[in-house]
Amino acid sequence: MRIDTQVGIIEAGPAGLLLSQFFALHSIDSVVIECRTQEYCETRVRAGVLEHGTVELLKEAGAAERLQRLGLQHSGVYLRVRGKDHHIHFRELTGGRTITVYAQQEVVKDLIALRLAADRRIVFETEDASLHDIEGPKPYIRYTKNGESFEIHCEFIAGCDGFHGVSRPSIPDSVLRTVDKLYPFAWLGILAQVAPSSDELVYASHERGFALLSMRTPEISRLYLQCEPDEDLHKWPDERIWSELRMRLATLDGWVLKEGPILQKGVTGMRSFVVEPMQYGRLFLAGDAAHIVPPTGAKGLNLAAADVRVLSQAFVSFFRSGDRALLDRYSEICLRQVWNAQRFSWWMTSLLHRLPNDGQFDRRRQTAELDYVVGSRAASQMLAENYVGLPFETL
């Protein structure tokens, strides 16, 4: 069966859904396809920290009603070094900017609800998606659902289908340059039914490895431990996780980690990955389809939103006046913000993790760097302005 639209969007993750919402606001027709179920998309536990600019974008998209009501606004984070907390005060160091803790799956839920309420097209549980004629003026997406074949004929395709999607591999190898870096550790993350033990996030540097205390709601905590890249979760019964967290998050003043039932556990690998360019013919990549950052510093979701800001404005100018200038500069503009986020995520990762083969020199250098970051206003400000998100480039 043939479906006609202006832009075909592959996926119902944050990038594709936000793009589709901006399209709806500007009367651009789009169809979103997604290989998972609606329930899966709305319950997949991932990121939780929204930068100032991401919150502003969601407000602009008309998708921030629940976020503004339920999101937890934070003015800073703590760096816990040798058992002592150092507060990095974002509001003070960045002229009033803050971050908001609000789960990625809630952002996804809000955007899906808006799309369904407006009766706009979104197809879940698609199979065998493939992209065709992306070099020409009339690209199309083919997929099947319940054994029936469909073709979405469109003017452009937005490939927002994450790291394992089909969009990026549709671009010829000879066109794409891939820059990739793997890290020799991963994060074991848990979601626990217990009130957060801190009013703001705690990034802890410890001899046994990095630990992070985060949260989702006043009743739900999210915690992470640095672990082996191929860590076997079976070796981590709940009590071992809490015991390790207690050790790595311990303070000199007897602070107590609150514990509760673990609702979910998972291991997230760490990599830095970028493809250049992020566009080819009539295909535009956004979000994890084009880049992955290591999670330290919480940039992944925010970077996906930053891509969408540029892509949505580029499409709006094109469909309004036929002006291709911004579309043609899409990759160049996004790659500047992507490399900034890569630089910062790499720096936060190197600052806080223990490397298996670190010698005395690297340990001492890391300690000196941590002391500098917490002791110098200029260095704290550098962390703060990157964490809350650098201002967007004017388009």
Catalytic residue among 78, 102, 280, 387: 387
Residue 257 in contact with ligand DHB, rule: CB under 6 A: no
How many angstroms separate the CA atoms of 325 and 44, rounded? 37
Angle between helices 300-321 and 330-352 (to 10 degrees): 170
**Residue selected from 295, 311, 319, 331 as contacting ligand DHB according to rule CB under 6 A:** 295
**Residue selected from 54, 94, 214, 331 as contacting ligand DHB according to rule CB under 6 A:** 214
Give, for 285, the enclosing helix (H) or strand (E): strand 283-285
How many angstroms separate the CA atoms of 149 and 319, rounded? 29
Binding mask 118-157 for ligand FAD (x = CB under 6 A): --------x--x----------------------------
CB of 369 to ligand FAD, least distance (A): 23
Q: Is 40 designated active site?
A: no
**Residue selected from 161, 200, 244, 259 as contacting ligand FAD according to rule CB under 6 A:** 161
Residue 114 in contact with ligand FAD, rule: CB under 6 A: no
CB of 202 to ligand DHB, least distance (A): 10
How many angstroms separate the CA atoms of 322 and 91, rounded? 41
Residue 296 in contact with ligand DHB, rule: CB under 6 A: yes
Which two tokens mark 197? 């033990």
Which two tokens mark 121? 């097209």
Which two tokens mark 395? 């388009």
How many angstroms separate the CA atoms of 249 and 348, rounded? 18
Contact window for ligand DHB (CB under 6 A) among 42-50, 85-93, 244-252, 371-379: 42-50
CB of 305 to ligand FAD, least distance (A): 9
How many angstroms separate the CA atoms of 270 and 196, rounded? 25
Catalytic residue among 206, 291, 299, 353: 299
Residue 274 in contact with ligand FAD, rule: CB under 6 A: no
Of these partners, ligand DHB, ligand FAD, none, which one is at the site of residue 162 (CB under 5 to 8 Å by kind)? Answer: ligand FAD
CB of 149 to ligand FAD, least distance (A): 14
Which two tokens mark 338? 């992507």
Of these partners, ligand DHB, ligand FAD, none, which one is at the site of residue 296 (CB under 5 to 8 Å by kind)? Answer: ligand DHB
Residue 162 in contact with ligand FAD, rule: CB under 6 A: yes
Residue 34: exposure state from Cβ atoms within 10 A (0-12, 13-18, ≥19): buried
How many angstroms separate the CA atoms of 377 and 354, rounded? 25
Which residues does 26 contact at the CB level (< 8 Å), separation at least 6? 312, 316, 319, 320
Supply φ then ψ for residue 99, to 5 degrees: -120, 160
Catalytic residue among 280, 295, 330, 353: 295
- Degrees (nearest 5) of the Cα angle 187, 235, 295? 5
Closest CA to 298 of 238, 254, 348, 355: 348
Supply φ then ψ for residue 227, to 5 degrees: -145, -175
Residue 49 in contact with ligand DHB, rule: CB under 6 A: yes
Supply φ then ψ for residue 340, to 5 degrees: -65, -45
**Residue selected from 298, 333, 334, 335 as contacting ligand DHB according to rule CB under 6 A:** 298
Of 46 and 132, CB closest to ligand FAD:
46
Of these partners, ligand FAD, ligand DHB, none, which one is at the site of residue 268 (CB under 5 to 8 Å by kind)? Answer: ligand FAD
Residue 259 in contact with ligand FAD, rule: CB under 6 A: no
Residue 99 in contact with ligand FAD, rule: CB under 6 A: no
Supply φ then ψ for residue 63, to 5 degrees: -120, 25
Q: Is 261 designated active site?
A: no
Q: Residue 104's Cα: distance from chain center in Å? A: 8
Residue 304 in contact with ligand DHB, rule: CB under 6 A: no
Catalytic residue list? 74, 203, 295, 299, 387
> Interface residues with ligand FAD (CB under 6 A)?
10-16, 33-36, 41, 46-47, 104, 126, 129, 160-162, 165-166, 266, 268, 287-288, 295, 298-301, 304
